[in-house]
A and B are shown apart, each in its own frame.
Chain A
Amino acid sequence: MINVTIDNKKIQVEEGTTILKAARQAGIHIPTLCYFELAGMKFENKPGGCRVCVVEITKDFNGKPRRNLAPACATDCVEGMEVLTHSPRVINARRTVVELILSDHPNDCLQCEKSGDCELQALAQKLGIRNIPFKGAQSTYRKDQTLSVMRDVDKCVMCRRCETMCNNIQSVGALSAVNRGFNAVVAPAFEMNLGDSSCVNCGQCVQVCPVGALTLVDNISDVMNAINDPTKTVVVQTAPAVRVALGEEFGMEPGTIVTGKMAAALRQLGFDYVFDTDWSADLTIMEEGTELLGRVKKVLNGEKATLPLFTSCCPGWVSFYEKNFPDMLDYPSTAKSPQQMFGAVAKNFFAQKIGVKREDMVVVSIMPCLAKKSECARDEFKVNGNPDVDFSLTTRELAHMIKQYNIDLNNLEEADFDSPLGQSTGAAVIFGATGGVMEAAVRTAYEIYTGKPLANIDLEVVRGLEGTKEATVDFNGLPVHVGVCYGLANARKLMEEVRNGNPRGFHFIEVMACPGGCIGGAGQPYHHGNSDIIRKRMEATYREDAGKPIRKSHENPDIIAIYKEYYGEPCGHLSHEQLHTHYFDRSQHVEACGE
């Protein structure tokens, strides 16, 4: 422990503590802008670039004052250090720096998507900035968008969070700083369109952007038009992770479960059928679990089969391996993601059942995710140009819609999902958290393989916010080796390991692109670097699971029914046609970035 004095408060901190954290320990909140941390998730962005958190070191390691102001986020405390966080010199410098940043920032807060959630706005407010003394040139760049992400880099403050996320956590390498000086900005290589780059649309850059430089592609009006069109039957599905986060947008504690209120709100918004992606998550388990057992059995019989099986629910991940591992496209499960399975069932089975033409049905998904917007636009998920899922909205967009429609979510009566695509099990709920798909798959695959009930269905070893986890599950004498990871850099390591001979002998690996899984998705309410929020969403997910009467996918009566009534058996002929997909070599996008 070392002793430091901050604003005349003497405190003891552990060695290696930054001034920023030491000050927080002393109850002093030094403002920051570029600094960003997801504690416990190995994400820390501290380029020391914005210079907002500068402090005055009046006594440094050598007993003398430091010549320049120091960035609190990136300066470690040393024994005997004395620091001032609000001396006249610091206040003047901090104000001047923020004024400078504002002097090169568009003044369109009123219309900005980030308004109210913008960290620069909050900072200007905290410092009470009322005018900007500098008049001068403004950076202007080309606007750009993918199917998921909007880029308005005029607003970029060069915090580099997106870059750190894209490169360190995701290893996607789509974003980095380009140009110099006043023209420096974060962009894809050669300033190409993000959509042409190695970007996988995971959207984590949007989740961490402090300002409105990176935002989502807003589909609210598309959905409103569909609802208002009397010729359309509009079906909505909601992903598992949405219900544990939506409440945050309405002032509820993180981790509040709003499943019932959400269903009620969706009905009030005018959706004709309020269904649940959880239902199709159960379906996914049936297909993917069967596929896993099929491959394992083949290997046990001495036949050729590709192992490990990788999950394919996460469209960011799917895009990632299509772009980076074109030689390994036979590893991931061919099962479609729950969103797309739902769309396929809705526009085939359900449309037929209620006598609505495919073209007259609009399927909307509510997702914690930005990549889902790109996924539903894939050509292979369209029939004659008509997509299985028409529009994908994020949790944040849903919240905007609810607010716009004057619906008071807090005081809504809870409601149930509609039938037949609404009932789900605890196994489907946990899809939202990292490890959840794996756990759900094990619950089902074990029982199908062994024919015996699983004694303890809580597979604790694959839960939690560790980036990569592994476990061995005893399938009645057959040791099944499973791996779980989130963050595409972790996935890349596992893919490379598998490519190099799979030395750990994995049978099944779950990959989610976003921190903590879908609960930390890019479409969720902004967490602003507070990983406790993600943790609470995760806890809520397992709470919801524990409270469900049925917790194994294969025991879902509606799932059993649809196989009986329509698909026959998992991985059967019809399910192959409707519930499975194939992958494409998209490595040219990575090569285009010069990698």
Chain B
Amino acid sequence: MAKIKSLAELKAMRENLQSNLDLREKSNNPDAMVQVKVAMATCGIAAGAKQVMEHMMEKADQLKLGVVFTQTGCMGYCHAEPTIEVKVPGKDPIVFGHVDNKKADEILEKYVMNNELVEGIIPVNYEKI
């Protein structure tokens, strides 16, 4: 490790390092953040959920959006995999189906950033505990 010789260097170091702990910092207070849950059961993985999740994480970083990504089990919409649930603070969660990279970008850019609705919403048909 190189020596830190000034306050500016310390700050720069922190900036650089911050992403390491991002995941933990975010989960400290997830309700204040946008939460994205990716259904990652066998069906989801088979339909490419993993790749979509990676892509979406990249994108969220690029857009400098504070998003918490979590993996979850099967949501029950195996017909519409990959499915993701997006919860913007203060709003009810919305589930999107058939999410590919393009759809993922759209969800982030339109729904999350500008509150525009995007196609592909699956009506939630049960109460979650």
A–B direct contact (CB < 8 Å):
no
- Give A contacts to B, CB under 8 Å: none
